[in-house]
């Protein structure tokens, strides 16, 4: 199902579509692209490499999210330029999804253009501790009780639902458009991998249940899903099922005293072998759940 209307790089994608299957399109597509989310008037996805962010255009300005420019010195400016191709309205806000640099580094061009940076309070605290030279510090902190940004007739709800992939993740929801933007905790149609490093296994299950209970239809992930499709509640349910299966299996191995090495060798996720990212993700999942059930951490 095609969810996105491609604004840029259309010719290249069309060529790839003629020449080969989906994986060929993925390989040949341009590094940077902006797409309008189908069925909306003003919601866009900016993608740089394998990272992406949502931005929303209103008559009174733009609400942008993650600069997605880690290791990409011109990435922030490229993002701003991409917004400029859509609107001449000022970028009023940049909202960080969580505190990880691969999503939020590179916002200087937005800061110089006058945007206010917003993040969860834990992200602000952490970023102030680390003082990364490439990452703009948040101007404003969102409390655990959340905040709603209202601009030019658009509402963007920022809510906090406890520990998950990080301790600073904001769930962003556009109530009118029934769209969520959640980064890293819910890989769409893929096996999680490095995102497990900073992952809170027990709390994430509760987090996912809360996300499922929210009112929305489509999920924009922080990394493009297979074929660039957006996520659904079924994807969240599937991800929860995967994590529960992983947890149950590792619990048995861990309680047999097999963590780390033996358990990690024996660990398999039956039924998920055909999911994208299985081989790459398996060791990360095993290590994290060995930490939980084998060490209590």
Strand partners, 46: 34, 53
Nearer to Zn ion, 182 or 242 (CB): 182
In the complex, minimum distance from the CB of residue 50 to Zn ion, in angstroms, rounded to a whole number = 13
Which spans of this chain sit near Zn ion (rule: CB under 5 A)?
Answer: 100, 184
Nearer to Zn ion, 46 or 177 (CB): 46
Nearer to Zn ion, 100 or 287 (CB): 100
Nearer to Zn ion, 97 or 249 (CB): 97
* Three-class SS state of 212: helix
CB neighbour list of residue 191: distance below 8 Å, 6 or more residues apart? 242, 269, 272, 275, 276, 277, 278, 280, 281, 282, 285
The single residue listed with the structure tokens 């600069």 is 67
In the complex, minimum distance from the CB of residue 126 to Zn ion, in angstroms, rounded to a whole number = 12
CB neighbour list of residue 220: distance below 8 Å, 6 or more residues apart? 37, 45, 52, 54, 179, 180, 181, 182, 230, 231
**Are 158 and 180 a contacting pair, CB within 8 Å?**
no
Nearer to Zn ion, 64 or 183 (CB): 183
In the complex, minimum distance from the CB of residue 97 to Zn ion, in angstroms, rounded to a whole number = 8
Angle at 31 between CA 25 and CA 32, to 5 degrees: 110
In the complex, minimum distance from the CB of residue 79 to Zn ion, in angstroms, rounded to a whole number = 18
Nearer to Zn ion, 66 or 264 (CB): 66
In the complex, minimum distance from the CB of residue 103 to Zn ion, in angstroms, rounded to a whole number = 6
CB neighbour list of residue 79: distance below 8 Å, 6 or more residues apart? 46, 48, 53, 64, 67, 68, 69, 106, 109, 110
Could you write out the three-class secondary structure of 213-255?
HCCCCEEEECCCCHHHCCECHHHHHHHHHHHHHHHHHHHHHHH
In the complex, minimum distance from the CB of residue 183 to Zn ion, in angstroms, rounded to a whole number = 6
Half-sphere exposure of 31 (CA within 13 A, CB side): 8
Nearer to Zn ion, 45 or 104 (CB): 104
In the complex, minimum distance from the CB of residue 127 to Zn ion, in angstroms, rounded to a whole number = 13
* Three-class SS state of 202: helix
Q: Which residue is nearest to Zn ion (CB)?
A: 100
- Residues 54 and 51: their CA atoms lie apart, in Å, by 11
In the complex, minimum distance from the CB of residue 195 to Zn ion, in angstroms, rounded to a whole number = 6
Nearer to Zn ion, 100 or 200 (CB): 100
The single residue listed with the structure tokens 């509402």 is 155
How far, CA to CA in Å, does 48 sit from each of 78, 120, 137?
9, 23, 21
């Amino acid at each position: 199902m095609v969810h996105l209307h491609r604004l840029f790089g259309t010719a290249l994608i069309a060529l790839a579509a003629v020449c080969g299957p989906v994986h060929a399109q993925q390989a040949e597509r341009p590094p940077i692209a902006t797409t309008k989310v189908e069925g909306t008037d003003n919601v866009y996805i900016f993608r740089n490499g394998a990272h992406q962010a949502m931005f929303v255009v209103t008559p009174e300005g733009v609400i942008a999210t993650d600069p997605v420019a880690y290791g990409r010195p011109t990435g922030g400016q490229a993002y701003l330029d991409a917004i400029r191709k859509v609107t001449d309205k000022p970028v009023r806000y940049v909202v960080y999804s969580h505190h990880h640099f691969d999503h939020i580094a590179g916002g200087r061009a937005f800061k110089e253009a006058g945007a206010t940076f917003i993040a969860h309070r834990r992200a602000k605290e952490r970023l102030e501790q680390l003082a990364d030279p490439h990452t703009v510090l948040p101007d404003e902190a969102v409390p655990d009780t959340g905040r709603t940004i209202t601009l030019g007739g658009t509402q963007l709800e920022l809510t906090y639902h406890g520990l998950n992939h990080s301790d600073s993740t904001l769930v962003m929801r556009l109530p009118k458009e029934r769209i969520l933007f959640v980064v890293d905790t819910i890989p769409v149609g893929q096996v999680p991998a490095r995102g497990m490093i900073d992952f809170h296994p027990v709390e994430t299950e509760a987090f996912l249940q809360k996300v499922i209970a929210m009112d929305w239809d489509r999920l924009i992930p922080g990394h493009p899903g297979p074929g660039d499709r957006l996520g659904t509640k079924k994807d969240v349910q599937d991800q929860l099922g995967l994590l529960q299966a992983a947890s149950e299996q590792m619990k048995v191995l861990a309680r047999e005293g097999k963590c780390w090495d033996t358990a990690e060798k024996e660990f398999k996720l039956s039924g998920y072998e055909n999911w994208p990212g299985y081989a790459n993700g398996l060791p990360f999942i095993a290590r994290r759940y060995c930490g939980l059930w084998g060490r209590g951490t």
